[in-house]
Amino acid sequence: MPNLDPRIKLRHLSCFVETDRHGGVVPAAEALGLSQPAISKSLAELEDILGVALFDRSRRKLALTEYGAQFLRYANAAIAALRQGVESVSLASHADAVVRLGALPTVEVEVVPRAVARFAMGPLAARLHVESGPSPHLLGLLRAGAIDLVVGRMPAPDVMAGLSFEHLYSEPLVLAVRPDHPLLEEPEPSLRMVEPFPALVPPRGAIIRQTVETVLLAAGITHLPREIETVSNSFGRAYALLSDAVWFISRSVVAADLQSGALAALDVDMSASYGAIGITTRAGAELDLPTAAFIAAVREVVSRR
């Protein structure tokens, strides 16, 4: 591909476009704040570089030649692209930017807070709006353009039309209970032993609900007679601590509690519950720099987990 002639400058394109737009050299000079001779000189230089006449000067009013009409399309596109490029990296243009994201329960305790802290220290830090809730709610906001991305478990394939998912890592569910839960005394606890106890589970429609049901079916459990549906991490933690409830929850949500001993995880094989965690966006959507910077912060936090 031949290189662009280095003699062509932005002023050449600007003078050419404005002369056509205003129908003459004099009004173009006024619009650009230049002298009439400067405009005429730039046009002459551009025509000399291209080797063709861009304007028909035989009429009282300047008119584009066929060459000029063809070149105008590209000149307009080049200026527009350059303007968009400047605006896209201008910090001033992002002064009022808002990064709007949805955080599923899986990541709203650990990943998203850390990403927000990292993003806030960067040069593209902007206002943040963090929406939480179940997957159908957040995906609805994403499709409507009310938020720009959702961080959390990958949506089910049947709702991925028009969306794009970036996988970051995978993690399992755990069965979290209070430290003195009776099932912790069992030498070989199993999922079947959970049935008599209250069970905190995600509601129908939540991404991990299907995962929970799959794990239960594999253990021969068709339903839990004492289930309590919730997407609230604070309620789940509080209720698990004051009752004999077994909480089906993503490991990262209770990681700090498990490490400190505030909660315990039943020693049950939950390897079948591994799910993809990542970032969901609208397919083909162009993200502004602050939003792209926040996504980069999420990636960085995940890489250091």
- Would you kindly state where each structural domain of the chain is located, as residue ranges? 10-89, 94-169+276-303, 170-272
Single out the residue of 68, 83, 74, 70 nearest to residue 20, CA to CA.
68
**Which amino acid appears at position 225 of this protein?**
P
Q: How many CB atoms lie within 10 A of CB 273?
A: 20
> How far, in Å, are 124, 169, 226, 250, 299 from residue 304 at the CA level?
21, 12, 39, 19, 9
Beta strands across the sheet bearing 227-229: 227-229, 199-201, 246-250, 173-177, 264-265
Would you tell me the crossing angle of helices 25-32 and 36-50 to the nearest 10 degrees? 110
Q: How far apart are CA 156 and CA 166, in angstroms?
A: 14
Integer Cα distance of 272 and 173 in angstroms? 9
| DSSP 8-state class, residue 182 | G
Residue 87: what pLDDT? 63
pLDDT reported for residue 302:
94
In this prediction, residue 88 carries a pLDDT of 63
Are 89 and 289 in contact, with CB atoms under 8 Å apart?
A: yes
Two tokens, residue 81: 């692209």
* Topology classification of domain 94-169+276-303: D-Maltodextrin-Binding Protein; domain 2 (3.40.190)
Assign 169 to helix, strand or coil.
Answer: strand
Same fold, 10-89 and 170-272: no
| Secondary structure class of 6 (helix, strand, coil) | coil
| Interior angle at CA 300, CA 294 and CA 305, nearest 5 | 130
Report the distance separating Cα 129 and Cα 101, nearest Å.
6
Buried/exposed 161-183: b ≥16 CB within 10 Å, e otherwise:
eebebeebeebbbbbbbbeebeb
Of 207, 121, 104, nearest to 160 by C-alpha is: 207
Name the strand (E) or helix (H) holding 72.
helix 66-89
Q: Say if residues 162 and 284 touch (Cβ distance below 8 Å).
A: no
Classified by CATH at the fold level, domain 10-89 comes out as Arc Repressor Mutant, subunit A (1.10.10)
Pick the CATH number of 170-272 from 3.90.1150.10, 1.10.150.20, 3.20.20.60, 3.40.190.290: 3.40.190.290
At 206 the pLDDT is: 80
- Any idea what the Cα angle at residue 187 is, between residues 186 and 191, rounded to 5°? 60
Q: What is the mean pLDDT of each run of 10 residues along the chain (305 residues)?
A: 78 92 89 92 94 88 89 88 70 70 90 95 90 87 91 86 93 95 92 93 85 89 90 93 96 92 94 91 87 95 89
Residue whose C-alpha is closest to residue 283's, from 76, 78, 142: 142
Report in angstroms the alpha-carbon separations of 212 from 77, 83, 176, 178, 191: 53, 51, 14, 20, 11
Which token pair is 212? 């929970």
